[in-house]
Amino acid sequence: MLGRLNHVAIAVPDLAAATAIYRDTLGAAVSQPQALPEHGVTVVFVELPNAKVELLEPLGEASPIAAFLEKSPSGGIHHICYEVNDILAARDRLKAAGARVVGDGEPKIGAHGKPVLFLHPKDFAGTLVELEQV
């Protein structure tokens, strides 16, 4: 069911500072910031040859990233994203196996313009998992 690793997401308290670290210190190509109000975040993507690193900053007081950063003020790994061919088939298979989908269970459009779902970390070894349809 799982395809390739799409990205690892890191929550950061200061997106501009984190972007500078990846771009200027590590020499990586970094996308322009993109606000995603539906998800409560502003993101950039660090482009790597085999995957991406997504840097997330809270967008608004109700951002789920804000709550994460309250517990980890310096930031940290927030989730991991895997690609799937059919997100609805993957969701149905996972739910049948007892996995919980975060939210209303319906895919939302993610930063790449593709449908995404998040899976509850308690069902996946303490890791918030994002699935993205390719």
Token representation of residue 120: 């509850």
Q: Using 50, 70 and 90 to split pLDDT, how confident is the model at 61? A: confident
pTM beyond 0.85, yes or no: yes
Active site annotation includes 130: yes
The matching CATH number, chosen from 3.30.420.40, 3.30.70.3340, 3.40.50.700, 3.10.180.10, for 5-133 is 3.10.180.10
Predicted confidence (pLDDT) per residue in 14-28, tens digit: 999 999 999 999 999
CA gap 65, 104 in Å, rounded: 19
Query: For all residues of the chain together, what is the average pLDDT?
Result: 96
CA gap 134, 3 in Å, rounded: 9
CA gap 84, 101 in Å, rounded: 15
Catalytic residue among 47, 54, 83, 130: 130
Break the chain into its structural domains and give their ranges. Answer: 5-133
